[in-house]
Amino acid sequence: MTQRLDRFAGDGTALDRLRAHAARLMQLQQIVLAELPPYLADSCHVANLKDDVLLIHAATGAVAAKLRQATPRLVNTLAMQGVRISSIKIATRPVRPTPPPKPPTQRIVSTQAQDALRSLADHLPDDDPLRKALERFVRRSRSEPPAGQR
């Protein structure tokens, strides 16, 4: 059932071109980051290079405006590094906010089950990892509400 990677990547030249393009973009990213002040460098990244046009993504419109002002200096710096760039395009790509972490799951355990787990933990040695885990489980779980209060 195993298949050679060549089947998915052709004869390897497409994969080699992709790897070379990615390496080139990383090299350009380093040059651009070195040229920009830290407050701009932290808010943008080199996205693509196609037909001698460098595409840089900015996190906000304000960063994009500042990058547009720095474009002539970046073109000169890249030229001094031997990189042939005819122009630089700036696009705004806001960073997606990360969703807040989910609250921990509250376990509902009957009082009878909690008592049984405590009893089991009491019969284990003090330094036993299972005892500590059972005690932590009982401590973090909440009791089942009485039948009339659901």
Long-range contacts formed by 22-25: CB under 8 A, 24+ apart: 24/49, 25/49
Do 127 and 85 belong to one domain?
Answer: no
Cβ contacts of 40 within 8 Å, gap of 6 or more = 63, 66, 67, 70
pLDDT, tens digit, 9 for 90 and up, residues 34-93: 999 999 999 999 999 999 999 999 999 999 999 999 999 999 999 999 988 999 999 998
Residue 114: give the domain boundaries.
Answer: 108-149
- The residue with tokens 């990213």 is 29
- The tally of domains found in the chain comes to 2
102 part of a folded domain = no
CB 75 within 8 A of CB 87: yes
CATH classification at residue 55: 3.30.300.180
Do 69 and 128 belong to one domain?
Answer: no
CA–CA distance, 78 with 135 (Å, rounded to integer): 62
CA–CA distance, 8 with 143 (Å, rounded to integer): 55
Do 74 and 114 belong to one domain?
Answer: no
Do 11 and 70 belong to one domain?
Answer: yes
Indicate the pTM of the whole model: 0.58
